[in-house]
Structure 1
Amino acid sequence: MTNASKYLEKGLEIKINENVADMINNEVSFINFSTKHIVLLEGVKSTNLYFIIHCIVRGYTLMNREMILQNVSAERMNSYKLVYKIIKEDGRLNNIFVKNYLKEIEKLENRVKNSALMTAEERYIDFSRRYPHLHDRVELRYIASCIGIRAAFLSRIRKEIKNIFLN
């Protein structure tokens, strides 16, 4: 795998200045976790910042209090301080961080809004449109959890939808 700064340049489609590239390459490493690897446990303070490149993340907050990652490739920054150094050094990267942060906030707002304003069936249809191939990769109980319903109710919704299209 290439070094981290080259990976970021390719992914962000920008040229990173040499000073920032050196900072990144000195402190960032690529890691691969095995399926069902537990990365974060409740009560344990993380000293690393992970940028997930590719995976499906399943997190628990009430029962097991752990985050489980599946099929993961990630970049690990050894310090949050590096992010601050980078965004101070390069205004373009600062703008990219802010833009992506705002996108994530918008996703969270939409999820909360959809939970309040859409029926379970509408949420399932919306989820299916946004992630058409996820059904093949994720158990339905996790999709149900993601859209805020029980798996049994999702099964009923899927059956009703199937019946509508067959008739």
Structure 2
Amino acid sequence: MRKSGVTRDRTVALLLERPEDFLPALWACLLGGITVCPPVPLRSDPQRRAARLGLVDTLLDGPLLVTDAPTREELPAVRDLSVVTLEDLAPDDTGTATDAGPGTVPLAPAAPDDVALLVLTSGSTSAAKAVRLTHGNLLASMAAKAGTQSLTSREAHSR
């Protein structure tokens, strides 16, 4: 993602439906200190889809939209929307990224108050908004869920 111009101050919107695509991309963003937003995929008419993507672009201040090649082919044209596919981000045939080898970008330390994730509201009662979830929010949520489920650290690691 760094070779696509993504810096810590730019949001990445992940339009990926397959867990095997979404989860590594999500962790790449989180470990790189990049705020991530997973917009809901829309399969409706192209005008509605274009309007939603335009809203995401405006609401997130020009994010990089990461998707897969088949979805990219189906996307309607949205002015100024920056799109890259997983295939564009994949390592080349030598097993390294085209501009830098694996591990060349250091992990970004995150403070509890740093925004980790933006979740879009439905927009059903007013204009959609991006709800900011910090790393602290996510950790507190996971701790509460583990407590409710009476999970120990041993059980959490074995799942």
TM-score category by the smaller chain?
under 0.3
Write 1 or 2 for the structure with the bigger share of helix: 1
Bigger Rg, which one: 1
Write 1 or 2 for the structure with the bigger share of strand: 1
